[in-house]
Structure 1
Amino acid sequence: MTDGLGLFDNSRRHDQHDDEYDYDDEPREPRRKKRRSPTFWVVAVVVVAIIAGGAWYGVTQVLGFGGFDDYAGAGDSDVVVEVKAGQGTADIGAALKAKDVVASSRAFTSAGEDQPKVKAIQPGYYLMKTKMSGKAAVDRIVTKDARVGQLQIRAGTQLDDIKQPDGKTTAGIFTLISNAGTVTMNGKKAGPTVEELRKVAENTDLAQLGAPAWAVPFASQAEPKRRLEGLITPGVYDVEPGLSAQDLLTKVVKDSATTLDGWGMPGLAAKTGYTPYQVLIMGSLIEREGIEKDFDKISRVIYRRLADNIRLGFDSTINYVLDRPTITTDGSVRNTPGPYNSYLNFGLTPTPIAATSKAALQAAAKPADGPWVYFVKCEKDGTSCFAETQAQHDQNIRDARARGAY
């Protein structure tokens, strides 16, 4: 059938269809599927097993179920472990695991579930043993003996030891650092001696040790054994036992520089008319001359004497270089020349004479208003009496002696 437009030309449609599907006489072979080798499937199974196993281990560790590795016994060799600020029980367990103290973090956390002291563990260094059971590690780390490397420096402490009039020795900063930095591990002591610390302090560039940039030019001009005086602030430090003298001293000096920065130095001295290092010197004198409630008044006396070109006349500056200091000095030592003799010399001492507290430093930067030129300790609790004239001062001395203040 056909029409004028060829729309119904059946013969044409059949011809076209035959052309499109003109097959070869020989039939084609069917396409074969590519087979995987046995090795492929073995590897695939292993990979899946590893992934599944890792996922399962992670779930058990996070959710707290399933088994965990644990050593038996009290441990083998001594090792120091650091607990950092902000670490929880699981983090501490991980730190112990990293040092092979426990076999797994879970061994520690599981054993610590019934020990409330675990949650109160403070940042610092702890002397533990390798290969401890989780329970043994918990029992050890919460004891006082486990904590090592604690360094406490009180305000007014100087670098070297002081022999008190009663024969007792007050440990200086070098001794305190040496004690905190020394630990006995497996029967052997590790840590710097006082002599090693002193050698580093005298011979190492102050900037390299971490001293504040505003103090370095002035402190570097001082006698080597005294140039670090005042640059180590009072406070509590955590130091890693066993470090070298260089590393340990650098740690303490850098931390002190950070503390001074937090107290406002060097900007604190901006309106005083003195350099930040001079203000630090004043702070140390204030620290050694009185108690905190009198700090700002003692500061005023220093400012007035410096302004009026009057010698400071402080016993603390003379005692600073004596092996056996006394509360009041006599004529024999007051007449002995030396850079720290404020009875003979005008102005401030070459360096600070002790570790300065924040309160003393703030008083040095902002003295109280008043006309005082003199002061003397007049009460047994250390309170000072202040005077404007020599006559008033002499009377305060007589009253102080009558009260048995010194």
Structure 2
Amino acid sequence: MPTPDVGNPVAAEPPAAPGRPPRRRPIAPPNPRFVDGSMPPDLRFAEGWTPHDPRFADASMPPDPRVTDGSMPPDPRFTEGSMPHDPRFAAPGPHPSMPPDPRYAAGPMPRDPRRLPLAEQPTEVIPSLLDEPAEQPREHLDDLFDDEYDDYREYEEYEDGDDGEYEGEYEDAENPPPDEAPAKPRRRRKRTLGWVAAIVVLVLFAGGAWFGYEKFFGYDDFDGSGQGDALVQVEDGDTTSAIGAKLTGLGVVASTKAFVKAGADNAALSRIQQGYYLLKQHMSGVSAVEAITSPSARVGRLEIRPYTQFDDITQADGKVTPGVFTLMSKASCATLNGKSTCIPVDALRKTVADADLKAFGVPTWAVENADKAAAKDKRLEGLIAPGVYDVKPGWTADELVKDLVHQSTGAIQAAGLGPQNTGPGMTPYQTLIIASLIEREAITPDFGKISRVLYNRLGKNMKLQLDSTVNYALDRPTLLTKPEDRDKAGPYNTYANTGLPPTPIGVPSTDAIKAAVKPTPGDWEFFVKCEKDGHSCFAVTNEEHNQNRILAQSRGAY
């Protein structure tokens, strides 16, 4: 039979389960404070230690009159027969109405040793509660719990342990040394497994967090500078994210985030202009940002400046100033997947000559007069507004010209020219012609006065005598003309003809159109360039005009 647990005299060690090693329980050594008399007696219980209460001194407290004189009536509850008999206080033994208790059939039940009177219980091994620390170790507290949980603890330790590892310890626990208590089983293996499990959980959690980050915050990206060609259009107001989305749709970059992240600190990307850009497919985000911000990436850019005419102009030094036809042809050029998209000038000329002007978007007030042009390929002269246009590489000649005319029509109307807004006594188309003459003859500060001179001469049926019209037919710049040039016949020779030329002679600016609609008041009928910076001198009479010419020559203005 196992040895009783000395540390807990009221509980006995339960028998070991079959096939299972017994549980090791430490045996506490006897407390020397209770066996050798080393603890001094408690002074609180010494004779005469408690002071005497004066309230209980002889005759110090008056008697209660309710008790001494009989003035307090007796309590009827305690009078004889006033309270019914309680069957619970009947004679010992079971109530007749209850069946006999089988526990008493074999005789009286043995008394529980734990309920013995205090005097009968062994006290030499009970530790003093006054000398015990406030908190006890967890292992010691386990011994104070009810033994009904012991089987669970035994099973837990048995499962966590190793039979071979603790076999010797169990044997030693049954015969411990006389002066040394057996050590409790170590739980390092269990704690190690706990740490391993915690680390595994943390690793899995970190992996899941990284997967979630990559899923929601990561992005795909290609490697390298790409291959193949892709044409992307950047529109006005497009943000970096919008551009990245377009590039992703065209297969240029793998994701919008790859492009946005690569261009986060690129100032050139934030200033990118609308237009067409030629890039490669399958580019990394960094390569795409570098490519789209390089000057060579933009294609299809068509810039038409005021003063420009459809045909090229040959300068005095032999240099050629490209006209609208040449500018359109150059803007159409690009190489997509090894194929050129350039539209030849001749194809553009033929398109303008054969086009249905109304179908192309020419204003209604200009269609009839434009068809009277001496050369069919000059019908759109003056109807193209200055500005920057986007030409998509791969367009046909019809698509290019139609888009250019459509945008120019809106710009001309926005400049204030229309059926209800024309120059004094002029049609919209005649006002447009005057605006083109102003643009070719003067600088912006003199536009209003030049417009007044033209209206005054036209009003008096005087010849305009403009070198610009003569040189327009000759594809030369607006410099002085020679006598033989002025003697040549032609609809644009304003030295020989009265009135306006049949068509505009170039692209008028918005300022020139406004000056043609509303000229500056004045009586001037003559002007000549008299300053090297382009300013003109104005005169009312021919004598004043000749003096201004002499002044201009002396200044080297021409």
Same fold (TM over 0.5): yes
Q: AA paired with 2:506? A: A
**Structure 2 residue 285 is the aligned partner of structure 1 residue 134:** yes
**Structure 2 residue 533 is the aligned partner of structure 1 residue 381:** yes
Post-superposition Cα deviations, 1:353-399, rounded to whole Å, max 9, x if no partner, equal 00000111111111111111111111111111111111111111111
**1:42 matched to which residue of 2?**
none
- Equivalent-residue separation in structure 1 for 2:283 and 2:214 (angstroms): 24
Post-superposition Cα deviations, 1:196-237, rounded to whole Å, max 9, x if no partner, equal 111111111111222112111111121302111000011111
- For structure 2, the residue ranges without an aligned partner over 5 or more in a row are 1-210
**Structure 2 residue 434 is the aligned partner of structure 1 residue 287:** no
Instruction: Report the count of equivalent residues.
Output: 347
Identical counterparts, % of pairs: 50
**Structure 2 residue 321 is the aligned partner of structure 1 residue 163:** no
- Give the alignment partner of residue 229 of structure 1, picking from 377, 381, 398: 381
- Equivalent-residue separation in structure 1 for 2:342 and 2:518 (angstroms): 41
- The 8 Å contact of residues 528 and 537 in structure 2, kept in 1 or not, is answered as yes
**Structure 2 residue 350 is the aligned partner of structure 1 residue 205:** no
**1:220 matched to which residue of 2?**
371
- Equivalent-residue separation in structure 2 for 1:326 and 1:176 (angstroms): 20
- The 8 Å contact of residues 182 and 192 in structure 1, kept in 2 or not, is answered as yes
Q: What are the residue-to-residue correspondences of 1:119-130 with 2, within 5 Å?
A: 119-130=270-281
**2:484 matched to which residue of 1?**
332
- Equivalent-residue separation in structure 2 for 1:266 and 1:191 (angstroms): 35
**1:399 matched to which residue of 2?**
551
Query: Secondary structure of 1:228's partner?
Result: coil
How big is the shift at 1:93? 0.9
- Give the alignment partner of residue 106 of structure 1, picking from 250, 257, 280: 257
- Give the alignment partner of residue 390 of structure 1, picking from 542, 546, 556: 542
- Give the alignment partner of residue 321 of structure 1, picking from 470, 473, 482: 473
Higher RCO (CA 8 Å, separation ≥ 6 residues): 1
Query: Secondary structure of 1:78's partner?
Result: strand
How big is the shift at 1:140? 0.9
Q: AA paired with 1:98? A: G
Post-superposition Cα deviations, 1:7-31, rounded to whole Å, max 9, x if no partner, equal xxxxxxxxxxxxxxxxxxxxxxxxx
Q: AA paired with 1:89? A: T
- Equivalent-residue separation in structure 1 for 2:414 and 2:351 (angstroms): 26
Post-superposition Cα deviations, 1:130-153, rounded to whole Å, max 9, x if no partner, equal 111112111111111111221111
Normalised TM-score (structure 1): 0.82
- Give the alignment partner of residue 355 of structure 1, picking from 507, 514, 521: 507
Q: AA paired with 2:369? A: F
- Equivalent-residue separation in structure 2 for 1:234 and 1:137 (angstroms): 32
Post-superposition Cα deviations, 1:95-134, rounded to whole Å, max 9, x if no partner, equal 0011111122222122222333322222211111111111
- The 8 Å contact of residues 222 and 284 in structure 2, kept in 1 or not, is answered as yes
- The 8 Å contact of residues 269 and 279 in structure 1, kept in 2 or not, is answered as no
Of 302-311 and 112-121, deviating more is: 112-121
Q: AA paired with 1:381? A: D
Q: AA paired with 1:110? A: K
- Equivalent-residue separation in structure 2 for 1:119 and 1:67 (angstroms): 23
Q: If you compute each CA radius of gyration, which structure gives the higher value, 1 or 2?
A: 2
Of 281-290 and 137-146, deviating more is: 137-146
Q: AA paired with 1:212? A: P
How big is the shift at 1:94? 0.9
How big is the shift at 1:241? 2.1
Q: AA paired with 2:434? A: M
- The 8 Å contact of residues 61 and 106 in structure 1, kept in 2 or not, is answered as no
- The 8 Å contact of residues 377 and 385 in structure 1, kept in 2 or not, is answered as yes
- The 8 Å contact of residues 111 and 135 in structure 1, kept in 2 or not, is answered as yes
- The 8 Å contact of residues 191 and 244 in structure 1, kept in 2 or not, is answered as no
- Give the alignment partner of residue 367 of structure 1, picking from 519, 542, 549: 519
- Give the alignment partner of residue 86 of structure 1, picking from 237, 250, 255: 237
- Equivalent-residue separation in structure 1 for 2:456 and 2:524 (angstroms): 8
- Equivalent-residue separation in structure 2 for 1:62 and 1:87 (angstroms): 28
- Equivalent-residue separation in structure 1 for 2:214 and 2:389 (angstroms): 37
How big is the shift at 1:64? 9.1
**Structure 2 residue 421 is the aligned partner of structure 1 residue 269:** yes
- The 8 Å contact of residues 268 and 365 in structure 1, kept in 2 or not, is answered as no
Post-superposition Cα deviations, 1:232-289, rounded to whole Å, max 9, x if no partner, equal 0111112212211111111111110010111122056346211000000000000001
**Structure 2 residue 71 is the aligned partner of structure 1 residue 71:** no
Query: Secondary structure of 1:81's partner?
Result: strand
**2:398 matched to which residue of 1?**
246
What's the Cα RMSD here?
1.9
